[in-house]
Structure 1
């Protein structure tokens, strides 16, 4: 990516500041070996267990100051530390040691005992691309702040779909609210070409404000965006689609897809200029365009248009794909 264009773009939309690097924030935190030894989990459960971290008391003030700066921009939109966040206290730090980039989950206390959580991650061009595009196109907002060497993200509520399905009483694929959310996620995944969208990479949350349990599903992993050779691989429902079609019926299935397509289309029109500017930046990213040749051929076949195979500009290729997917 052209770093000057990235900084200019993100600064314009309050997404960039001179925040601590990921390594600067993480430095000094060590695994809590005693908790690991005393863990009752084993096998795969232990492999996917987050690692509790601790830091010496003498360095806690230093880390709280860094957290104050991050919080001021992430939750307050200001590059300078705001008074409200000066007394922030880190209460827990967990490393997602099973994930590719080993992000940190940081829990903090604000004034008045308010609890908040943010995630600290190394700066990654593909993750930035995914976060920004899903923020602009998804019906949900994704709050994040970036520096040249880190991305800090507001917590998204929910549990991993794998855990949700394992603990669900009954068959989760016979819950219309949950299944409908998977159909919506499937469309978003195909639109944004999200690779590696397995059940640890999207979260499920619920509410029963109306007296009826309603679910929401949101993707959280964008590190593999565009890293697919065929659009068919960007398919959340690849193994469950027949079961879902049988449960919902084709008419309702199609209606759900049309509904979310309409919501995303409106977001696309609202943010079209900003999206086009960002697509120009993506075009200059070697990491984002690594599978460009395969994607051209795949999208050409998917949209039944041979001309797509000859689009050299990756940003233009994505724009054509978006507009074809969102056609009324």
Structure 2
């Protein structure tokens, strides 16, 4: 299963089209914000953020002039209110912006905002990023077709994302995986198979171990583990089909090896079918909204012609469905994948009735 693949060195950021902007407004993802990504770039200084082991986290904590800080803090608290509450000012007096961190690693170069409730010291994070159409499509597809709802807002060239809590996959693999019981490893292996299948169906690329989180959940007398994507920059861009399959990244080798050790071939196919069936049911449930998104995606430019031509041929060779060969955009490829998954599910379901 494991065979390392290479990512394009840098994916360009694609602007939000007027069609996508209308879609976002229709589904309450678009909102007038009091602060934008560019405003946060006006920091005056920074210090490196280290983890508990004194290792560089690749984040820097930024500082602003006194004349800017009060306005920035107040605006960020309003953004938090829009994101998680009703947007009212009543909540602002209970909030404090404890830290603003900036990451120069990766495509999105996000700001991470730490907001604390001053009454009880509970805190959470949200992110301010440059809006990229690819990422927005990825967020919406994840919201509709995965088990997880996603909360985000867009305004012009700024994207606000809710924090996704969990243990970073690379940290879990390095520090926790070896201590899991045999049954827990089998359960994690099952989740990785399903995660791998879901990423392939939605064309979510670059799921190296630091781009997803492991979420332990206590359930009666056991702990179960879920895997959840946290990075959507490489949505429907690359031409290599393997980039949409987490199993082919060297960073995931231990997960792949665990699948080989713990799961029989028959069960691997069973779990793939289970995940495809669940996605098919979500496609049916979100029919109108999903079609509206795919209409935007189909006419949008979110990749290169070389990548489109390569990917549609690779998917044709994988599926033997001639519809892929006529695809003219990445959005059309995604649309045909979902049609393919839904059709196969309905064909099997009809035979069983």
Alignment of 1:43-192 (within 5 A): 46=56, 48-78=57-87, 81-85=88-92, 87-110=94-117, 112-113=119-120, 114-168=122-176, 170=178, 175-192=185-202
Partners of 1:140 and 1:32 lie apart in 2 by 34
Residue of structure 2 equivalent to 1:8: 22
Residue of structure 1 equivalent to 2:208: 198
Partners of 1:251 and 1:39 lie apart in 2 by 43
Q: RMSD value over aligned CA atoms?
A: 2.6
* 1:322 Cα offset (Å): 1.4
* 1:86 Cα offset (Å): 5.2
SS in 2 for 1:200: helix
Deviates more, 1:61-70 or 1:251-260: 251-260
Q: TM-score, normalised by structure 1?
A: 0.88
SS in 1 for 2:58: coil
Structure 2 residues not aligned, in runs of 5+: 1-14, 346-353
Residue of structure 1 equivalent to 2:341: 325
* 1:163 Cα offset (Å): 0.7
Partners of 1:275 and 1:267 lie apart in 2 by 10
Residue of structure 2 equivalent to 1:235: 245
* 1:152 Cα offset (Å): 0.7
Partners of 2:148 and 2:187 lie apart in 1 by 17
Partners of 1:298 and 1:123 lie apart in 2 by 30
Residue of structure 1 equivalent to 2:348: none
Partners of 1:105 and 1:165 lie apart in 2 by 24
Deviates more, 1:195-204 or 1:278-287: 278-287
Distance 1:39 1:161, change over 3 A: closer
Deviates more, 1:61-70 or 1:245-254: 245-254
Partners of 1:12 and 1:25 lie apart in 2 by 28
Partners of 1:129 and 1:98 lie apart in 2 by 22
Does the alignment pair 1:218 with 2:234? no
Partners of 1:208 and 1:39 lie apart in 2 by 26
* 1:57 Cα offset (Å): 4.5
Equivalent position to 1:300, from 316, 326, 344: 316
Contact preservation (8 Å) 1:93, 1:105: yes
SS in 2 for 1:112: coil
